Structure 1
Amino acid sequence: MPFLLKRLASAVSLVFATSLIVFLLLSPAFDQVASNVLGENASLEQVEQLNSTLGFDRPVFVQYFDWLGGALTGDLGQSLFTTQSVWGALATRMPVTIALVVLVTLLSGIIGFAVGVLSAVKRGWVDKTLQFVTTLGDALPAFIIALFLVTIFAIQLGWLPATGYTDLTVNPAAWARSLTLPVAALTIVAVAGIAQQVRSAMISALGQDYVRTLRSRGLSEVRVVLVHVLRNASTTGLTALAVQVVGILGGAVVIEQIFAIPGLGSLAIEASVRTDVPLVLGTVLAYVVIVVVVNLLVDLAVAWLNPKVRLS
């Protein structure tokens, strides 16, 4: 319980700290908001009046704590351009991004662990081949891989749609088809980093004395590798997976633009271009919460696998 409470306190502190940093980074652009809303033909008096109405003429920290107070009560404000509530915009876009991130995280974790274990156990040409493939995947950015996949599977073969998104509740099959290429592009990049870390951890664990002891007791190689060695190496792999989630979210911003997916990434870009401060803050907060929740779940999984972590 103390371990969980410490992790929860750390997660909450991270959310608050990130929101403050983002607010301070956005504050220089507050003076441009009224001009963007009113247009180029607005007079200086109109701009100043709207700035006063929006509260942007107050000290930055006063504005931040006012926003924070609203956020703690569930009020993130509304868009300055569409007047839609920030919660309404997030509720529409967040499920799309979460579905994308969850699918990529699960697939990259499963494939990354499998490739890392296979490389560490087989070694030889198998290890070299997998190392080359994972290094290549790590070197190429997600949008390059996405363009390659679109060219082959959407344009040339016509198997999958090049762009567009279908809601799961409308047509599950079309939903799966619309996410196949985006998920594949992000997974290829994420698998590389996870596989490398799992491979290194497995090789290190296989050289430990307890492995030789287990083998001398007559345990099968499959049980030694998959039960004992993998359990010790999985903490490193899970940590790598948590790090990759941040990269997945960052890559999803570009991928959503390429495939015209209406997720948080495209919403964040639209809000940033228009300097829609409440919407930018809302999307950043949503991203931070996703990252914090994933890292919290990984910490709990690592603590379950390695009891020493709970005592550190």
Structure 2
Amino acid sequence: MIAFIAKRLAAGVVLLVAVSVGTFFLAHTAITDPTVGLLGTTATEAQREALTIKLGLDRPLIVQFWDWFSHAAIGDFGTSWRNFQSVNDQIAIKLPVTLSVVSFATLLTAFFGITLGMIAGLNPNSMLDRMSKGITVVLFALPGFWVSLVLVIWFAVNLRWFPAVGYVQPTQSITGWLRSITLPAVSLSLMGIVVVAEQLRNEVIAVNKQDFVRTLRSRGLSQGQVIIHILRNACPAALTMLAIMFVSLLSGAIVVEAIFSLPGIGQLINSSSQIGDIPVLLGITVVSVIFVVIVNFLLDIALGWINPKVRVK
């Protein structure tokens, strides 16, 4: 088990370094002259040259990379080119907002996706199965931004159950915090519910046809005990999809945060990309990859615990 964990950690570190290096050079290739976005088109050549020297952009690119990478390796992502504030501090302020919404959306995805998938898988071609598939088809067909707007109109404007925009810190009010992230999380989770439910349904049907399930029933186990065995054998696919959905929700949160005016990472990405604030974009990228590595590592550990055969791969 220790060797299995070590391999997964090493793979995560390699991925983190590769993405960091690639993102740095791609960003500097795409944004050839950041001073234009930072100072505006009305800035003089002397002003742009002075800012270039101040930011260290007059140095060779490989020197700039090593300076950034050597600091990023110890957790220092430098300062923003826009306001010269710490990138770490800006991410630390914005990240909890995005993680709150994405984590809540992942919980909703897991609960409703697994519930619908189990109901449909244990009762294939039944009325429950057809209703479940109908719900998933409808959810899959609805555009995410349209769903977000409908949720705002129904539950925020008309019913006034939730705020239409804004974010409340949990330190100010737990209830207000939950109300402020509910609609964004619901709009984010709908697609994930569809994917997880369909994936789990197919796995449950396949597992339910295996010989060991018939053996369990012949031994007199209750339906609940049999369902637990079926779920344990079918859940690796669902866990994999949940991990993938968590990662995709991090990127999908950009649109949702814009619609609901949430001060999260999406807002920071938009403002930084518009002016070419490369240190902030690099910091967000590295932090995002770290979460990807953590999620995949936890997934591998969970799959290795459920199915010991995975550990030998």
Query: Normalising to structure 2: TM-score of the pair?
Result: 0.95
List aligned pairs for 1:29-44, cutoff 5 A: 29-44=30-45
Match of 2:239 in 1: 238
Question: What is the letter of the counterpart of residue 192 of structure 1?
Answer: V
Deviates more, 1:41-50 or 1:99-108: 41-50
| Aligned counterparts of 2:212 and 2:62: Cα–Cα separation in 1 | 56
Structure 2 unmatched ranges of 5 or more: none
Question: What is the letter of the counterpart of residue 90 of structure 2?
Answer: A
Match of 1:179 in 2: 181
Assess if the C-alpha contact under 8 Å between 1:38 and 1:47 holds in 2.
Answer: yes
Deviates more, 1:12-21 or 1:22-31: 22-31
Query: Normalising to structure 1: TM-score of the pair?
Result: 0.95
Assess if the C-alpha contact under 8 Å between 1:31 and 1:56 holds in 2.
Answer: no
Match of 1:248 in 2: 249
Relative to 1, partners in 2 of residues 1:107 and 1:58: Cα closer, same or farther, differing over 3 Å? same
Match of 1:265 in 2: 266
| Aligned counterparts of 2:66 and 2:130: Cα–Cα separation in 1 | 54
Assess if the C-alpha contact under 8 Å between 1:31 and 1:51 holds in 2.
Answer: no
List aligned pairs for 1:22-101, cutoff 5 A: 22-101=23-102
Question: What is the letter of the counterpart of residue 55 of structure 1?
Answer: G
| Aligned counterparts of 1:274 and 1:58: Cα–Cα separation in 2 | 21
TM-superposed CA distance for 1:275, in Å, is 0.7
| Aligned counterparts of 1:295 and 1:252: Cα–Cα separation in 2 | 19
The one of 207, 210, 230 equivalent to 1:208 is 210
| Aligned counterparts of 2:253 and 2:38: Cα–Cα separation in 1 | 28
TM-superposed CA distance for 1:211, in Å, is 0.8
2:307 is the counterpart of 1:306: yes
Match of 2:292 in 1: 291
Assess if the C-alpha contact under 8 Å between 1:141 and 1:189 holds in 2.
Answer: no
Assess if the C-alpha contact under 8 Å between 2:37 and 2:274 holds in 1.
Answer: no
Structure 1's consecutive aligned runs of 4 or more residues displaced over 4 angstroms after TM superposition are none
Match of 2:11 in 1: 10
Between the two proteins, what is the percent identity of the paired residues?
41
SS of the aligned residue for 2:32 comes to: helix
Matched pairs, number: 311
Deviation per CA, 1:176-226: give whole Å up to 9, x if none.
111110111111121111111111111110011111111111111221112
Deviation per CA, 1:33-83: give whole Å up to 9, x if none.
122223323332432343233222334333222211011122211111111
Assess if the C-alpha contact under 8 Å between 1:142 and 1:251 holds in 2.
Answer: no
| Aligned counterparts of 2:138 and 2:303: Cα–Cα separation in 1 | 29
Question: What is the letter of the counterpart of residue 96 of structure 1?
Answer: V
The one of 139, 142, 154 equivalent to 2:141 is 139
The one of 162, 177, 187 equivalent to 1:160 is 162
Match of 1:188 in 2: 190
Match of 1:112 in 2: 113
Assess if the C-alpha contact under 8 Å between 1:120 and 1:202 holds in 2.
Answer: yes
| Aligned counterparts of 1:144 and 1:239: Cα–Cα separation in 2 | 28
TM-superposed CA distance for 1:29, in Å, is 4.0
| Aligned counterparts of 1:298 and 1:60: Cα–Cα separation in 2 | 37
SS of the aligned residue for 1:31 comes to: coil
Relative to 1, partners in 2 of residues 1:18 and 1:139: Cα closer, same or farther, differing over 3 Å? farther
Deviation per CA, 1:144-197: give whole Å up to 9, x if none.
211111111111222211101110001111111111101111111211111111
Question: What is the letter of the counterpart of residue 225 of structure 1?
Answer: I
| Aligned counterparts of 1:286 and 1:256: Cα–Cα separation in 2 | 18
| Aligned counterparts of 2:143 and 2:56: Cα–Cα separation in 1 | 41
TM-superposed CA distance for 1:30, in Å, is 4.0
SS of the aligned residue for 2:33 comes to: helix
| Aligned counterparts of 1:58 and 1:139: Cα–Cα separation in 2 | 50
Assess if the C-alpha contact under 8 Å between 2:100 and 2:181 holds in 1.
Answer: no
| Aligned counterparts of 1:165 and 1:241: Cα–Cα separation in 2 | 25
Assess if the C-alpha contact under 8 Å between 1:78 and 1:86 holds in 2.
Answer: yes
Relative to 1, partners in 2 of residues 1:64 and 1:291: Cα closer, same or farther, differing over 3 Å? same
Question: What is the letter of the counterpart of residue 222 of structure 2?
Answer: S
| Aligned counterparts of 1:94 and 1:251: Cα–Cα separation in 2 | 14
Assess if the C-alpha contact under 8 Å between 2:55 and 2:81 holds in 1.
Answer: no
SS of the aligned residue for 1:255 comes to: helix
Assess if the C-alpha contact under 8 Å between 1:197 and 1:236 holds in 2.
Answer: yes
Question: What is the letter of the counterpart of residue 79 of structure 2?
Answer: Q
RMSD: 1.5
| Aligned counterparts of 2:31 and 2:49: Cα–Cα separation in 1 | 12
